[in-house]
Chains A and B, each alone.
Chain A
Amino acid sequence: GENVEQHPSTLSVQEGDSAVIKCTYSDSASNYFPWYKQELGKRPQLIIDIRSNVGEKKDQRIAVTLNKTAKHFSLHITETQPEDSAVYFCAARYSGAGSYQLTFGKGTKLSVIP
């Protein structure tokens, strides 16, 4: 099965700085990589995703990059704001034998210091 490693587990940045979270995956058959943001006590919410035929995707202050060869993908948040403070999860979707499950990393707790 798929295995997703996520680093760092905690990240503190000053407001206005950039934050980068990195993930690696193990199965080259994985083809879809979403990022979820989870605020305390709330549901995970999709913030951006990328498919294996794309190398980079941007949405305002958030960007994701994918390196298929190295099997890693990263989340970049620029001009961080206090409301960006949350736990961020990366995931990889394994597609094989009719199964399309997401495997999640263990999460990164991002704290943006005003």
Chain B
Amino acid sequence: DSGVTQTPKHLITATGQRVTLRCSPRSGDLSVYWYQQSLDQGLQFLIQYYNGEERAKGNILERFSAQQFPDLHSELNLSSLELGDSALYFCASSVALAGDTQYFGPGTRLTVL
């Protein structure tokens, strides 16, 4: 157990819908990262937040957004869902902005039908 929690574990929804994935970092970690893992694309970095502020953006679609709240938990919002958005979504956390060790949560498996 890495200390990073994610909910829900599984999510099944339809195309066009909107979902919210939640992540709670390890106690004391200020940085939160979101990754998408699909079969043919490996682990793709989406976005990083540090202490409530967005710090880095990767291959995140405009239909996706995220935020980090004052209690440091983070939410990833996915809207206008498409079949291709089906994937495992991982959250990771690290102590610092340039945190070396990223600890991954158990992931949320999103299935879009």
Any chain A CB within 8 A of the CB of B18? no
Let me know if A43 and B2 touch, CB within 8 A: yes
Let me know if B42 and A104 touch, CB within 8 A: yes
Number of interface residues of A (CB under 8 A): 24
- Of A43, A95, A103, A107, the residue contacting B104 (CB under 8 A) is A43
Q: Which residues of chain B are near A102, meaning CB under 8 Å?
A: 33, 45, 102
Q: Which residues of chain B are near A36, meaning CB under 8 Å?
A: 104
Let me know if A100 and B48 touch, CB within 8 A: yes
Q: How many interface contacts (CB-CB < 8 Å) are there between A and B? A: 59
Binary flags per residue of A94-114, CB closer than 8 Å to B gives 1, else 0: 010011111111110000000
Let me know if B104 and A101 touch, CB within 8 A: no
Q: Which residues of chain B are near A99, meaning CB under 8 Å?
A: 48, 55-56
Number of interface residues of B (CB under 8 A): 23
Binary flags per residue of B94-111, CB closer than 8 Å to A gives 1, else 0: 000111111111110000
Any chain B CB within 8 A of the CB of A45? yes
From residue A35, how far is it (CB to closest CB) to chain B in Å?
12
Let me know if A104 and B58 touch, CB within 8 A: no
Q: Which residues of chain A are near B44, meaning CB under 8 Å?
A: 104
Let me know if B90 and A89 touch, CB within 8 A: no
Any chain B CB within 8 A of the CB of A82? no
Any chain A CB within 8 A of the CB of B43? yes
Let me know if B56 and A100 touch, CB within 8 A: yes
Let me know if B100 and A34 touch, CB within 8 A: yes
From residue A22, how far is it (CB to closest CB) to chain B in Å?
16
Any chain B CB within 8 A of the CB of A61? no
Let me know if A46 and B102 touch, CB within 8 A: yes
Let me know if B107 and A95 touch, CB within 8 A: no
From residue B32, how far is it (CB to closest CB) to chain A in Å?
12
Q: Which residues of chain B are near A103, meaning CB under 8 Å?
A: 45
